[in-house]
Structure formats: C-alpha cells, structure tokens
Amino acid sequence: MRMYDVIEKKRDGHKLSYEEIEFAVMGYTNGTIPDYQMSALLMAIYLKGMDEEETLNLTMIMANSGKTLDLSEIEGIKVDKHSTGGVGDKTSLVLGPMVAACGVPVAKMSGRGLGHTGGTIDKLESIEGFSTTISTTDFINNVNEIGIAIVGQTENLAPADKKIYALRDVTATVSCIPLIASSIMSKKLASGADCIVLDVKCGDGAFMKTKEDAICLANAMVKIGNGAGRKTVAIISDMDEPLGQAVGNSLEVIEAIDTLKGEGPNDLLELCLVLGSYMINLGGKSDTYEQGKKMLEEKIKTGQAFDKFKEFVSAQNGDSSYADNCEKFEKAGYIYEIKAEKDGYVSRICCEKIGKASLALGGGRENKESNIDLSVGIKIIKKVSDSIKKDDIIAIVYSNDEYKLKIATEIIRNAYEYSDIPVQKDKLIKAIITSEGIIEC
Ligand code: URA
C-alpha cells in the first residue's frame, strides 16, 4: 500500500477501508509516514469528510494504538463522563462524588487545561497533597473500596491521537467533526468505561458555536460509542456564559464543594443533575432519569455526596479538611470588584473573553509547558438576564500581580454586554441525544 494512493482516494471523495486508515494512522504514529503526507490526508478528510464506518474505524485504530485501561477488576457498570470543554466547567468535581454516592463506580481519567478552558486535574491539585498520579493498582482499589478515583491521563493513552491532534493543531484541521469525534472518543474508549455520558458544550466559549453543529458532533460521538459497544448518551449544554460563578482552579473547587453541600449556583446544579441522572441510569442504578435525579438530590440533602468527596480526596493523599474549611485554599494577593457603569440588564457575557481573562491572570496554560497559578480567577456575580443598578458588583477578580489584574479587568469589562430592557436567558440544556434519537429541549 502507498500513502500517496490513500491521500488521492480521499482527495477524490472516496471511502477509505479499515486497512487504508490503519496503514496511514499507524504508519504516522510509528514514524514511517512523514508529517507532510499525514497533513495532506487530514486536509483531504477535512474537505471530503468521513462516513460513520470510516469514523468508527479511525476511532478504534487510535484507541488501540497504545495501552488501553482494563477496568474489569472493578465491580459494577463503569460510567464515564466527558465534557468537550467550557469556561467554569467544574461538573466532574461535583458529579464524581455524587454519582459514586449512588453506587455507580467512577473510574475517571481527566486532562489538564489548555488555552481558555480549564482541566479537572489542575483544579484538584489546588487541594494540598492531592495526587493525580496514583498507580493503576491503587486506582482500581480506590474505586472498589470507596467508589471513585480520578487520575491524569497516562502518557501512552491513544498515542496516535496525541500525535495526530498535535499535527491538526498546526495544519488548520482541528474543526472537523469526524476528526474531533474520533479524537475524543478514542481516548474515552481507551479509558475502559462501559458507558459514556457526553456533555457537548455549545456557544461562544465552546468548540461548537451553534446548536446545529453541537448536535452533529454529539451524534457522531454517540454513534461511535454505541458502535464500539459502549452505551453512550450526549447532552448539549449552553456555553454562552460561564457555568456557575467561579472561573479559576481553586475557586472552582470551592464552588464544587459548595454545590455538593447544596449551596452551589443553580445552573451548575441543574447540569450536574441531568448528567448525573443519565450516568446513574446507564450504570443500572435507576429505572428512570427522574428516579436518578431524586437519588442525586437525596445524596446532597443527606450530606453523603459531600462526605464522598472528602473520602475521595483523602484516598488520593489530599487534605480533606480543605473541604470543611475552604479558607485553607491558597488566596490571591489582590482582589478587585468590577462595578456596573449604568443601570440595565446583562444581555451577554462573552465566555471566550472570560476564559482569556483567566488565562491573562495566569490561571490557564498558554502552552503545554506553562506553569499555572491555582489561586487566581474570576467570580461572575451578575449573569445573563440579571438586572443591575449602577455600581453593583458584576464580577470579582483574584490576582497575584497588579499588572495582570489590570489587563484581566479590562477583558472582563469588555466581556459584559447590557440591555435597557429585560433579557430572556437561553435554556441551559438544549438537546439530549441517545441511540434512539434526538430530544430537543
Ligand atoms: N478535544 C480533543 O481531544 N480532540 C479534538 O479534536 C478536539 C477537542
């Protein structure tokens, strides 16, 4: 087989066989196919697309290109959750303990943040001592003993995706639905869960800007998951404003703790209850989603979800007293309140700008090697549709550097848009996609 012929076939809009995709992907991963030929194939895929079978084949080949995690020693149905990335998205920190408290094992591999979106692993490291690199044996034992473990992705998880994603990043071939869907799902399949709940974000702070595109991506991922024998459901959720109030690593952990205690923001709780009820249903612990939702609400009310969080933190060598006393989290040196300049209603908060403000404060990574400041961030006090009076606090900025504080404040001011008349808030949950079809909300 020649790479030239594979590129030509896709360039001319034909379907690639399993063997041709495998030849290209594994050849590139092993170094026998050069960057320039793989780039040409990726661009041909970008322009001509891939059908369902090609996308599933590409996913399986990338998923099996490295070490796959075997979770068979964990009892019960393992359900993973994945978010396509958003600003202020701390759902994994809330969902993990909540779902584990309902008896569904949570064995999760998470990523670090890059660019304007954060990562669960960075957030957890704001708790003193918390280890995200425990051995596979400890990972499995923790899930069997307390029902939950969350670790960083291992180096050798889907290495083909890692190499191809890096190439897509520099060849303008990222924003292509079959390539995004196969990239995300290859890592999910390699992580070993039996079922997957996807949170596909939609809006200006997300990869997918429109509901239509988000549904397309979600559909492609649900088909891959089910095609690979893992029950998969996708929820399309709004990312036209940050989720909850906190943006920034330790601030988000504190907000997740508040939510587990029943004192969190409504939108974060609502999303966690929807995602969680699907996880519980797929995990075989409820007959209906409504029943799953009630179970989750009960775990919050009785304090069991919060207790599970503390158990999880202790099991990974973290200081669980941080959950009882959030004053222990390292604090930023400068705190600045941004005030409204006039009366009105908040009509928009540009999510991408809020993410960029967090990045400017040092809370996110410009590149994979950047160090991040876990204590900085933003609290969004006024959200879309809130009425405001001149001088009301709209947001609070936490910084360790006066110059960065100034830059971030300017970005946040520009992120807010106002209206003189009342504004209707968009729905948080926009659609749910299962193997049976799409439910528009
Ligand atoms: N996240 C991934 O892991 N891959 C993509 O292609 C896009 C987002």
Asked whether 173 lines ligand 1 (CB < 6 A), one says: no
Angstrom distance (rounded) from CA 229 to CA 241: 35
What does the pLDDT look like over 83-110, one tens digit per residue?
998 899 999 999 999 999 999 999 998 8
What does the pLDDT look like over 291-335, one tens digit per residue?
999 999 999 999 999 999 999 999 999 999 999 999 999 999 999
What does the pLDDT look like over 157-214, one tens digit per residue?
999 999 999 999 889 998 899 999 999 999 999 999 999 999 999 998 888 999 999 9
Task: Give residue 169's pLDDT.
Answer: 86
227's enclosing H/E stretch is: helix 211-227
Ligand 1 centroid from CA 33, angstroms: 22
Angstrom distance (rounded) from CA 198 to CA 350: 23
Reduced DSSP (H G I as helix, E B as strand, rest coil) percent helix, strand, coil of the chain, to 5: 45, 15, 35
Query: pLDDT grade, residue 353 (50/70/90)?
Result: very high
What pairs with residue 234 in β-bridges?
Answer: 198, 433
Q: Which domains does the chain have, with CATH numbers?
A: 3-63 (1.20.970.10), 79-324+429-440 (3.40.1030.10), 331-419 (3.90.1170.30)
For residue 259 the two structure tokens come to 């939510």
Query: pLDDT grade, residue 269 (50/70/90)?
Result: very high
Angstrom distance (rounded) from CA 123 to CA 107: 17
Task: Give residue 86's pLDDT.
Answer: 87
What pairs with residue 231 in β-bridges?
Answer: 195
Angstrom distance (rounded) from CA 336 to CA 409: 8
Angstrom distance (rounded) from CA 213 to CA 236: 10
Cβ atoms within 10 A of the Cβ of 410, count? 14
> Average pLDDT, stretch 345-370?
89
Angstrom distance (rounded) from CA 324 to CA 93: 16
Task: Give residue 192's pLDDT.
Answer: 93
Task: Give residue 206's pLDDT.
Answer: 87
Q: Which one of 167, 170, 183, 216 would you pick to mutate in the ligand 1 pocket, going by the greatest count of ligand atoms within 8 A of its CB?
A: 183
Catalytic residues: 82, 161, 168, 183, 187
Cα–Cα distances in Å, from 301 out to 138, 262, 297, 307?
A: 30, 7, 6, 11
Task: Give residue 116's pLDDT.
Answer: 65
Torsion angle (degrees, nearest 10) of CA 155, 159, 162, 164: 170
Task: Give residue 153's pLDDT.
Answer: 84
Task: Give residue 430's pLDDT.
Answer: 97
Task: Give residue 330's pLDDT.
Answer: 94
> With b meaning 16 or more CB within 10 Å and e meaning fewer, what string describes 415-427?
bbebeeeebeeee
Query: pLDDT grade, residue 243 (50/70/90)?
Result: very high
Asked whether 183 lines ligand 1 (CB < 6 A), one says: yes
Task: Give residue 101's pLDDT.
Answer: 98
Query: pLDDT grade, residue 382 (50/70/90)?
Result: very high
Q: Whose CA is nearest to atom 8 of ligand 1?
A: 180
Angstrom distance (rounded) from CA 31 to CA 275: 40
Say how many CA atoms lie within 13 Å of 239 toward its Cβ: 31
